[in-house]
Structure 1
Amino acid sequence: MTFPGTGAPARLSLRARVLIGFSAIAAIAVIIAIAVTVTTHTYLVRQLDDRLSAFAGVAPLDSARTDRLDAPLPPQQGADARPSDVLRAFVDSSGTMTVYFAPTVDIMDAGAPVINIADLPESGNVYLDAPSTVGDEDFRVYVRTTDRGWDITALSLADVSSATQRLILIEVFGIMAMLAGLTLVAWWVIRLGIAPMGRMVDAASKIADGDLEVRLDGAGGSTETAQLADSLNAMIGTLTASLAERERSEARLREFVADASHELRTPLTTILGYSELYRRGALAKKADATDAWARTEAEASRMRRLVEDMLELAKYDAEPVLGRVEVDFADLAREVVADATAAHPHKEFTLEAIGSVSALGDPDKLRQALINVIANAAEHGGQSVAVDVSRAEDVITLAVTDDGPGMTPEMAARATERFVRGDHSRTRATGGAGLGLAITSAIVDAHGGTLTVESSQGNGTTVTITIPA
């Protein structure tokens, strides 16, 4: 198996690919969460930098205080005593920080930034993070270089850290919920989709080993795997039936070959026997020679008829050619019954046909079919043969009934097979080679009709031909 467009072999199982896919989704979700956290934190810090830039230079240096940073910073007094979380200070070249504007909001908790002079730039402005003298929260510091030192503007990072932590907590819980959902979905997909596929693979392996009794579980549902199980079960059933039919066909073929060989062997043996007698001079008398040649000619004629019948069946098996014209089945039946009455004067034939019953067909082939059926009834039946021609809706029916000894239902079901007789004696007393009804059935099939044989022992036989009108 190869993936379309890649040519690479699919070495991974479907289960592994599902798990890898879900793992990739989870990894992408984590990466997105990290990116969102970093982006949000950076955005909040930039907002803080914008505030620092706006606050820088608000308080003039001539109002500077000289309080040292190691002492508590009192709130701003007088006109400048307004709520503010900004700290303004100045750091000289010796590293001494002078605070001239202290925060008036949560001052006891915020403290002041600890500035390392080594981190301060020699020129220009810079933003940096500095630890606090109180607690664990850092300060965001905006440093501007002056001739006398560095101007410091600072804001606490407590709000930014708190918002970032809350975002991380939300993302952690969200990712955990998503992973739990993906786990349930993966379990559901594997159980309902992939596990049945695995069972189908096992069943297919057993079928490939020749076990056609295997059937797939889970059929009858509405899922794709259930529908696939239905289709595979139906396919296995069809395959089993086809193999059984093939075995039956092979058995019938072997029987056909054996019967054909027997039917051809009998006249050939007779012909060879008389030829041997003639060669040895055993037919010196004219009467004996005449009788031998008559018997030889009769057997040769019988063999010719047998070969012609088999060729006729072969033509119908290949592609029968019919010359279709309007055929009156009532007239056709009258002609055949008249011929049969002349050929079998000791038999009683009756015909019942109402009106004109016409349909398209090959008159010669249909005549041959009806002759075969009536002749078969005259030879194997009793003293009377009844022929009934009727029409019902769009179907013409020809029924031939005799009052003979009949056949077993099992034999009647096989009566149209080749070389099948009413007994297994293989003698000439019971009729010809057993191809008459087989040829008749082929003719009827070529006309799109059906031939049925109904019989029971002691109750005669009825052969029914139906032809579409």
Structure 2
Amino acid sequence: MSLRLRLLIGILVLAAAGLLTLDFVSYRALENHLSDRVDEQVQSAAMSLAPELREKAGIVDIGPVFPSGSGFDHPPQGGSSGRLGPGGGLPNELPPGTFAQLKSSSGEVLATAVFGYGTTSVTRPDLSGDIPVSEFGQPLKTVTVGARGGSGTQFRVSAVADQDGRVTYVAVPTSDMKETLDQLLLIEAVVTAAILIALAGLAWWMIGIGLRPLERMSETAGEIAAGDLSRRVEDEDPKTETGRLGISLNTMLHQIEDSVRKREQSEEKMRQFLADASHELRTPLASIRGYAELYRMGAIPEGPEADRAMDRIEKESARMGDLVDGLLTLARLGELPEPVRRPVDLAVVASECRDDAKAAAPDREFSLDTAEDVTVQGDEDQIRQLLANLLRNAIDHTPEGTPVETVISAGGKTVEIEVRDHGDGIDEENAELLFERFWREGESRSRKTGGAGIGLAVVAAIAEVHGGHASALNSPDGGAIFRVELAREPASEISQVVPIAD
């Protein structure tokens, strides 16, 4: 069962309960009121008709039927004197079918009268039952009796005894009261049904309006499930429940779409990474296999040719080892736990890296300029590798004898490292690509030593792990500047780089 239908049924049940309660209370109130009116008519008829019955029975009026002080010793309202109304049948305020009968103390019927019909074939009350008789001087008691023959008509009857023991029975039919109550019941039924039908239509419409945002959310969720992650829930009033739900759903959908997009990008980069790694490994492996097969087949004679082949195998093996080491470094940088962070004095580390570079390239001049207090919180081994890769990059991509400068400056929350060479510079359009894996620039900065294009990717990954970033630009004096910015203190949440997928 749908929510809309459940809400509608609940509303209708509550409304029906309220309306039926109101109908019942109204019916009972009117019934009691009309019953009191009929009782008043019975009392009025008793006072009006008793003298007529005594006269009809030939009884000399020797005293009042109702003693003074009984509440019935005054004429009924409306000016009736107790005489028959126009046409000889009925006092003005008594309903047609009013029945009166006078019995002796022994139960003999002395006189009977039915007023308002002009015929004797009328419905008469059944007076055979136990009807309480009000003694002379006591208030009248009124009871309900049926009709003779079981016609269904009911009467309100009172019986009063006079001083001589004669009993006067007066019965007023409740047909008018029943007809009025039946009409009320019909009206209540029709009105209640009409109200419930109108309420059902109005409630169905209003519930539909209230649930329309949920239906749109359901449609949007279906489209998202079908693969359209760009779909969003329409904006609603944030003060409403559906509005707040829509805002929460849109926030969740943004996060899901972002996660899926990042996953797809990671998968694409993974495929590209594997393709690039396969390509880079294929070349040295092919060279090693080729020289090995030539040597095995005897195509390379002993002597200088064999030495040259072994030298090529050694260099290609070293190149392949460097490639694997670079990949391993990138993978380790992406592992979750966070790197061990201790105070690292960049001036000391940079000085040691400069000495190592001098040993590797004695024909070059390496200068170092550092500011005071260039200490950062980080992993010393990773920072050392970052500086070594920057210096190695400058050596590999500039002419022999080109000087290399290292400048370390301090800011408020960061420390900046710059490695400047005096080579041919870079193409600034490709500045960001320099830090991509396996990417190499053109002939101006060609690979001389068999590098695989991973060194600067390692630099960028280490910088990001330490809350910074790497960039490259051309120097106004010529050559290239590779700049790395590191945070002095680790951020509250440092991004963990996953180089294989990122």
Shorter-chain TM range is 0.7 to 0.9
Distance 1:153 1:468 in 2: 110
Alignment partner, residue 55 of structure 2: 66
1:423 to 1:94, Cα distance in 2 relative to 1, 3 A = farther
Deviation of 1:127 (Å): 0.6
Unaligned residue ranges in structure 1 (runs of 5+): 1-11, 69-75, 103-107, 131-137
Q: Confirm or deny that 1:442 pairs with 2:461.
A: yes
Amino acid at match of 2:372: G
- Answer yes or no: is 1:353 the counterpart of 2:353: no
Deviations 1:35-88 (A, max 9, x none): 2234324444665688799999989978954359xxxxxxx9998443357889
Residue equivalent to 1:142: 157
SS at match of 1:281: coil
Question: Is 2:96 the counterpart of 1:119?
Answer: no
Candidates 1, 9, 20, aligned match of 1:20: 9
The aligned runs of 1:185-264 (5 Å cut-off) are: 185-191=203-209, 193-219=210-236, 221-264=238-281
CA distance in 2, matches of 1:220, 1:419: 51
Tell which deviates more after alignment, 275-284 or 181-190: 181-190
Residue 257 (structure 1) shift: 0.9
Q: Deviations over 1:114-135 (max 9, x none)?
A: 97346333444541478xxxxx
- The residue that corresponds to 2:112 in the other structure is 97
Q: Which residue of 2 aligns with 1:325?
A: 342
Pick which of 55-64 and 438-447 moved more: 55-64
Residue 267 of structure 1: how far off its partner (Å): 1.8
Aligned amino acid, residue 432 of structure 1: G
CA contact (8 A) 2:125 2:171 kept: no
**Structure 1 Cα separation of the partners of residues 311 and 233 of structure 2:** 68
Corresponding position of 1:413: 432
2-structure distance, mates of 1:83, 1:50: 13
Normalised TM-score (structure 1) = 0.73
Q: Deviations over 1:322-349 (max 9, x none)?
A: 4443321122222222332443345454
Alignment of 1:456-467 (within 5 A): 460-467=480-487
Q: Distance in 1 between matches of 2:445 and 2:364?
A: 25
Q: 1:159 to 1:297 in 2, by over 3 A?
A: same
State whether structure 2 residue 100 is matched by structure 1 residue 83: no
Which residue, 360, 363, 370 being the options, matches 2:387? Answer: 370
Supply the AA of the counterpart residue of 1:437. L
CA distance in 2 between partners of 1:463 and 1:277 (Å): 46
8 Å CA contact 1:66, 1:98 repeated in 2: no
Partner residue, 1:391:
410
Q: CA deviation at 1:389?
A: 1.6
CA distance in 2, matches of 1:435, 1:13: 60
> Which position in structure 2 is the counterpart of 1:152?
170
- Aligned equivalents of 1:436, 1:220: Cα separation in 2: 53
Query: Alpha carbons of 1:436 and 1:156: their partners in 2 closer, same or farther (altered >3 Å)?
Result: same
Structure 2 unaligned residues grouped into runs of 5+: 58-64, 78-92, 133-142, 148-152, 490-502
Q: Tell me how far 1:276 sits from its aligned partner.
A: 0.9
State the AA in 2 paired with 1:188. M
In structure 1, the residue matched to 2:295 is: 278
Check 1:388–1:335 CA distance in 2 against 1; reply closer, same or farther (3 A cut).
same
The residue type paired with residue 459 of structure 2 is T
Matched residue of 2:435: which SS? coil
CA distance in 2, matches of 1:237, 1:403: 47
Shift of 1:31: 2.5
CA contact (8 A) 1:451 1:464 kept: yes
Amino acid in structure 2 at the alignment position of 1:338: D
Higher relative contact order (CA closer than 8 Å, sequence separation 6+): 2
* SS of 1:212 mapped into structure 2: coil
CA contact (8 A) 2:16 2:196 kept: no
SS of the equivalent of 1:414 reads helix
- Counterparts of 2:18 and 2:171 in 1: how far apart (Å)? 38
Secondary structure of residue in 2 paired with 1:318: coil
Local SS of the residue matching 2:55: coil
Separation in structure 2 between the aligned mates of residue 463 and residue 56 of structure 1, nearest angstrom: 119
Paired residue secondary structure (2:418): strand
Indicate conservation of the 8 Å contact 2:27/2:181, yes or no. Answer: no
Superposed displacement of residue 226, structure 1: 3.0
CA-CA distance at 1:279 after TM superposition? 1.2
Q: CA deviation at 1:275?
A: 1.4
Separation of aligned partners in 2, 1:22 and 1:123: 50
Q: Identity of paired residues, percent?
A: 33
Partners of 1:405 and 1:177 in 2: CA distance:
90
What secondary structure is seen at the aligned counterpart in 2 of 1:415? Answer: helix
20, 23, 46: which is aligned to 1:34? 23
Within 1, Cα distance between the matches of 2:31 and 2:110?
Answer: 30
